[in-house]
Structure 1
């Protein structure tokens, strides 16, 4: 009898604990974008999460990913995989891959885009029509994000031609395939825009004062990954002063900077924490690549790069 009483008490406690759980329903709403309801495409970003909803009506060119000799796995389909359609591989080679020659070097019109987001995943499916054959194919942009270039994005890259840039001392590839690291501050000028097959796609061709030409890549807006433009340096110097403006332009963080300067230099941190102590506010900001910034009352007092 005592054992039965204990069991009943345990079950009652379990039911009570379950009743306290805050169950949040999963949000897996599927959104569909067509030419009629697509967001405006500003051509500043290529085929990525920032532009998915604006892509209907645009034309994409499949330049292909690096090392795609084995084809494309889980990337091209004959049905909408986000809507629960059977995941049939487009032109399956018998191993679950789409052969590279079936898709690379072709132009595609974006007919529709579907996006779905829940607490664990983000999904996107593009319905494309291959311009030559008329084939309709569903494309998963997450597995091969750099295999396609939007023609609108490529054309807008030409705005960089003629602009002066300065090196951020990052590794770059020369026209003949060598890897070099120009010294920080070395001056370059954008002379052309190009696109390589089986590579990262569209790039800027920069020429140094020594005549050596190197490749650089836009990262959206008016920023280039390997370089900073003279125009951006001037703008940030006007906003933050000579000392801090130039540091921010060269993506450096230093003591005395404000929150705004840190974000302008490194972007938003992936994690923040805040503590109040003796009337002061201490913040810890954590960034990718093992970078840390400590702020006291809104100003940087500690910078660490591990």
Structure 2
């Protein structure tokens, strides 16, 4: 009897949370401002209505696009009929690649189990409307506003971060850290990862680089950013942060500026202060004692 009573009491205390689809609709009337600093991605979905996208296609799309283009809004329960289905659930590449699309509406969905996005597109030439899932092939489309905004980099000086880059003739090279380049143009290739910056070194060899939002370039750091971070964090730490390095003595803010936000944080109270452990991707760990970097481990 005692056990039964406890069970009934425990059941009465259950907090049942109802599932919430979290479906939101954005049109030109309520779209968020588009700053053109990000392409077709989660940070910009709600700002895309009214923008024009160019479908240059993903790498190796000879088999078409699976679970990507539909004839109805797949988030709103109107079915998942594939656009121009080839019989295998794919949309043939030739049906969508090389075309311009106007974004009419965007739906985003988020709850504690799933996330999703659906873009209603109108093909510029034919006027045909299709629904697009941007998650499986996120680099297959480029927003024209994003492409035009990339031209702000032209003429700027950059220093290499010693990452692999591709030359104009398709070779892969790794310029030594600190090698100077200048942005000379912006390009876009079919069946590629989209728009890129064209950098030229002192040897007149041109390489491709990728903008990752804001004023950051994945393979390079701009001279202007080095100057700005040096003024903010001192000569000792500013250049290290610019080159995405973390060292002892740095503050929390410097670590985030160099490596971004950690995906996990833990904290331990000790006699000599509070010890935090920050975990980053690629097996990188930072220990901070009272807000200052005590130890850096990269495996």
Name the residue aligned to 1:174. 167
**2:277 is aligned with 1:296:** no
1:88-147 per-residue CA deviation (whole Å, 9 max, x = no partner) reads 000000110000000000000000000110012211100000011111000000111100
**2:93 is aligned with 1:97:** no
Match 2:26 to one of 28, 33, 38? 33
Q: CA deviation at 1:15?
A: 3.2
Q: CA deviation at 1:23?
A: 2.8
Q: CA deviation at 1:24?
A: 2.8
Distance in 2, matches of 1:152 and 1:67, equals 26
Distance in 2, matches of 1:204 and 1:21, equals 55
Name the residue aligned to 1:4. none
Matches within 5 A, 1:221-232: 221-232=214-225
Name the residue aligned to 2:267. 274
Q: CA deviation at 1:25?
A: 2.9
**2:105 is aligned with 1:112:** yes
1:195-239 per-residue CA deviation (whole Å, 9 max, x = no partner) reads 011110000000011111000000000100000000000000011
**2:75 is aligned with 1:85:** no
Match 2:247 to one of 243, 254, 268? 254
Q: CA deviation at 1:10?
A: 5.3
Name the residue aligned to 2:208. 215
Distance in 2, matches of 1:67 and 1:181, equals 25
1:46-90 per-residue CA deviation (whole Å, 9 max, x = no partner) reads 000010000000000000001100000000000001111110000
Match 2:17 to one of 21, 24, 31? 24
When structure 1 is superposed on structure 2, of 9-18 and 272-281 the one drifting more is 9-18
Distance in 1, matches of 2:269 and 2:278, equals 15
Alignment partner of 2:278: what SS?
strand
Which protein shows a greater Rg? 1
Distance in 2, matches of 1:246 and 1:23, equals 52
RMSD of equivalent CA atoms = 1.1
Please report the TM-score for the alignment, with normalisation by the length of structure 1.
0.95
Distance in 2, matches of 1:208 and 1:37, equals 44
Match 2:184 to one of 188, 191, 204? 191
User: Moved runs in structure 1, 4+ residues, more than 2 A?
Assistant: 8-27
Q: CA deviation at 1:273?
A: 1.1
**2:114 is aligned with 1:121:** yes
Match 1:70 to one of 63, 68, 89? 63
Distance in 2, matches of 1:141 and 1:15, equals 47
Q: CA deviation at 1:19?
A: 2.9
Match 1:50 to one of 35, 43, 53? 43
Distance in 2, matches of 1:224 and 1:11, equals 63
Name the residue aligned to 2:139. 146
Q: CA deviation at 1:29?
A: 1.9
Unaligned runs of 5+ in 2: none
Distance in 1, matches of 2:109 and 2:226, equals 39
Alignment partner of 1:82: what SS?
coil
Matches within 5 A, 1:153-164: 153-164=146-157
Q: CA deviation at 1:286?
A: 0.5
